[in-house]
Structures are given as C-alpha cells and as structure tokens.
Amino acid sequence: MHILLPIHILAGIIALLCAALAVTSKKGKKLHVVSGRTYFWAMMAIFLTAIPMSIISSNTFLFLIAIFSFYLAFAGIRFARNRTGVATMLDWVAISLMILSGLGMWTLAAIYFLNDNAVNIVLLVFGFFAVSLGCADFRSYKNNSATGKERISRHLTNMMGGTIAVVTAVSVVNPPFGPEWMWWVLPTALITPVIFWWSRKTLS
C-alpha cells in the first residue's frame, strides 16, 4: 500500500491535468491527441494500482469503482481509434465487465442500505451509469453504428465520464462538509448535463 498509493495519487493528478488539456484543446490537433493518450495511460496506472489496493484492503467498493472508471477511459480511446465500428473480443469483454460492475454496485448498494450506510446512494447512481453506458456501447457495436458522428459521440461520452470519475476521486479526499455521499455524486450531477449537450451537438 505504501508503494501503490503514491503512484495512484500521482496518476490521478496527471489524468486530471490531461483531461483538462484534452477538453480545452481543439479536437484532432496534436495537443488533444497527446493529452488524450497520456490521460488513458494515467487511467491505466490508476486501475493497476486500485485493483491490488482494493484486494489488500478487502474493499469491494474500490474494486468495482476501479473497473467502472477504467472502462470509461478504455472505451473512450477505443472509439477514438476504431473508425470501422467493428468490435474486437477485447471490446466485448470490457463491455461485459462494465455491465457486471454496475450490477455488482447495485448488489453492494442493497447490502449498504441494510446496514444504514449512506454510500448506497453513490452505488445506485454509479451502477445506473455503468449499466447504461455499457448497454449503449453494446448497441453501438452490435448495430455497427459506431462510425462517423456516433463514434465521436461515444468517444466523447466515455472520456468525459472518465473525467467525472477522476474529479470525483479528488473531491471526496477531503470534503469541506457532509454528507460524504454528496461529494461522490456532485461531479456527476454537474458534468453529466454538459456531456449530454456536447453529445447532442456532435450528433447534430
């Protein structure tokens, strides 16, 4: 944990900075591409450190969130690179894990609810997005529609979703006031409408 945690934090800082650069830079330009790729590898580092930390600490919540967060970055970069819209076995496996993580969050939410743990609200919200986004990506690949504007929309939605995950991780470290679950949900509530607006604009 003493080795993994500093790497995890550093990767989170890099991911947050690169996400800001990718969002504010012109799409298709070198800065956007480089910052996007660096963001993906930072998210990979976050995932590869979060999984063993969750196992060491027996933290099922962290384990599920790690899968959820990394899938968003993985799917985002896959839609950016895969112009054919044809899914590989790796894509199908990733989508399956995303949906399963959402179902796992709902199951854990029920357990937390029975134990009067308010974080069940977080799990319900994140579980909804995990299942919804996973199914949306599944439909895009199944219908061979992940091309053109829809491909860009799926890329944007997943990358911005991953950004929400990073911002959330930062906001819950030292919340200025309670309840704690609010700081888990607040970034989603603020950024999701922007994603919908941006996605519709891309498709129009």
pTM for the model:
0.85
Q: Tell me how many domains the chain contains.
A: 1
Residue 134's domain comprises 4-203
- Burial status of residue 25 (CB atoms within 10 A of its CB: 0-12, 13-18, 19 or more): middle
What is the reported pLDDT for 191? 80
pLDDT of residue 80: 86
Specify the long-range contacts of residues 143-148, CB closer than 8 Å, at least 24 apart: 144/85, 144/86, 145/85, 146/79, 146/82, 146/85, 146/87, 147/83, 147/84, 147/85
**For the chain, which residues score pLDDT lower than 70?**
173-178, 203-204
Give the model's pLDDT for residue 53.
Answer: 93
Q: For position 117, what pLDDT does the model report?
A: 85
pLDDT score, position 10 = 92
Closest alpha carbon to 175 in 110, 128, 118: 118
Predicted confidence at residue 84, as pLDDT, reads 85
pLDDT at 176: 63
